[in-house]
Amino acid sequence: MTSPADPSSFLEVLTPRERGKLKLYIGSFAGVGKTYRMLTEAHELRRRGADVVIGFVETHDRSETEAQIGDLEVVPRRRVEYRGVALDEMDVDAVIERRPEIAIVDELAHTNVPGVRHRKRWEDVMQLVDEGINVISAVNVQHLESLNDVVATTLGITVRETVPDWVLAIADQVVIIDISAEDLRERLTEGKIYRAEKVPAAMANFFTEENLTTLRELALREVASSVDRTREEIVRRDAGPVVAPKTVDRIVVALASNPPYTAILLRKASRIAGRLNSDWSCVYVQTPDESAARIDSTVQRKLVDNIQLAQTMGAEVVKLVGTDIASELRRFARERGVTLLIAGQSRRSRWHRWRYGSVVERLTHNSEGLDVLVVGLPTRAEMGDRGPSGMSA
């Protein structure tokens, strides 16, 4: 983790290459100063000779941020008509044609207007990086996909714009912009974040001291994990083949066809894999009753949604075909060298488990030495009116 005011370390990694580098500023909440710091760094990078442009910056009418743009080159935005309203989005093609050394792209979790090349701005950023353009971007911690349920449960807030955790994991540099809850609330009352008429509601709802403290802890924890992953990679690279193997080499998640809480299970699995710095797979076993000709269309749609969610969080998705779900999962784990399997807590009735058996129980009583983690899931009463679908991206 580097000082946000010192761009020298980012310049050091900008060597000629086919693929660009990604630097992320991560904040605890809106208004901490991520955009301002990015612009400060852009000026400094340009002073040092780098070719820097603004691909997209959202000032939110904050005078300090608008003034900080100064004479930086801004790539014109693309205007898109949507439902009779003209909206501006980043013009990815224009940025690629301009081919700067570094592009500043704000609001990583933003959802683009229908009609542009990508649905999400993080996809725009990934294309720029693939094109060899180095990108500096920013995101708030509550927009990380795997934290979606944590934020909903602890803060009572549903965040619908999310960024896959793997985007943070592959960033070449991650810098936290951190201020205390007290200082942020002071900035809010001074009108430096929202207009005056919005301040009372913001102070009473999202910007409570408890919420801000929780988000700050989450942001610090995420950046600390990112630093640990980077340190481990450096140690492995420098030490070569003598490095001790990881405790957990690969994780597999058992995906049922129609569980109501699969999104929650996947997010928990993603966070566990991130903490253990391990690859993970999401495995679905298709039984004869769930063949394409027999599966209910509603169940099939939910299954596809869950598979896509797993992919956005960086999981390898594998479909197996068989009549015995537990046996297929154990065989897959054995063949892939999986050491940890994660499954959701069964919601079946006691009678159903007695009559048909329990997949989870058969997995936990394996003889292969496979560790099985059964994740407890919230009850329907605890979910309230939100429902699992309301908590997904």
For the domain that residue 213 is a member of, what is the CATH number? 3.40.50.300
Q: Same domain, yes or no, for 81 and 174?
A: yes
In this structure, the answer to whether residues 99 and 221 fall within a common structural domain is yes
pLDDT at position 49: 95
Query: Per the structure, how many domains does the chain have?
Result: 2
Q: Indicate whether 229 belongs to any domain.
A: yes
373: its two tokens: 């983690």
Residues 261, 228 share a domain: no
Do both 146 and 281 map to the same domain?
A: no
Same domain assignment for residues 353 and 302? yes
Query: Does 241 map to a domain?
Result: no
- Residue-level pLDDT at 182: 81
3-state secondary structure the chain: CCCCCCCHHHHHCCCCCCCCCEEEEEECCCCCCHHHHHHHHHHHHHHCCCCEEEEECCCCCCHHHHHHHCCCEECCCEEEEECCEEEEECCHHHHHHHCCCEEEECCCCCECCECECCCEHHHHHHHHHHCCCEEEEEEEHHHEHHHHHHHHHHHCCCCCCCECHHHHHHCCEEEEECCCHHHHHHHHHCCCCCCHHHHHHHHHCCCCHHHHHHHHHHHHHHHHHHHHHHHHHHHHHHHHHHCCCCCCCEEEEEECCCCCCHHHHHHHHHHHHHHHCCEEEEEEEECHHHCCCCCCHHHHHHHHHHHHHHHHCCCEEEEEECCCHHHHHHHHHHHHCCCEEEEECCCCCHHHHHHHCCHHHHHHCCCCCCEEEEECCCCHHHHCCCCHHHHCC
Q: Is position 3 within any domain?
A: no
In a domain, 239, yes or no: no
Same domain, 155 and 13: yes
CB-count burial class (<10 Å; 0-12, 13-18, 19+) for 260: middle
133: in domain: yes
Per-residue pLDDT, 3: 46
User: Does residue 330 sit in the same domain as residue 192?
Assistant: no
The answer to whether residue 245 sits within a structural domain is: no
Looking at 201, 234, 267, the residue that finishes a domain is: 234
Residue 35: per-residue pLDDT: 93
Distance from C-alpha of 161 to C-alpha of 138, rounded to nearest angstrom: 14
Q: Is residue 122 part of a domain?
A: yes
| 63 & 36 share domain | yes
Tell me which of 186, 203, 234 is where a domain ends: 234
pLDDT digit string (tens) for the chain, length 393 residues: 444 456 656 666 555 557 899 999 988 877 788 999 999 999 999 999 999 999 999 988 888 889 999 999 999 999 998 888 989 999 999 999 999 999 999 999 999 999 899 999 999 999 999 999 999 999 988 888 888 877 777 778 788 899 988 898 889 998 888 777 787 788 778 777 777 788 788 777 777 777 777 777 777 777 666 555 554 454 555 555 444 344 456 789 998 876 667 888 888 888 888 777 778 899 999 888 777 777 777 888 888 888 888 888 888 899 999 998 889 999 998 888 888 898 887 666 666 556 666 788 888 887 777 888 888 766 555 444 444 433 322
Assess whether 219 and 292 both reside in one domain: no
Domain C-terminal end among 183, 210, 234: 234
196 and 290 part of one domain: no
Q: Are residues 261 and 164 in the same domain?
A: no
Q: Which domain holds residue 176?
A: 8-234
Q: How confident is the model at residue 43, as a pLDDT?
A: 97
95 occurs within a structural domain:
yes
Task: Name the pTM for this structure.
Answer: 0.65
CATH number at residue 257: 3.40.50.620
- Which tokens sit at 146? 């795997």
Whether 33 and 81 map to the same domain: the answer is yes
What pLDDT score was predicted for residue 247? 43
- Say what the pLDDT of residue 224 is: 62
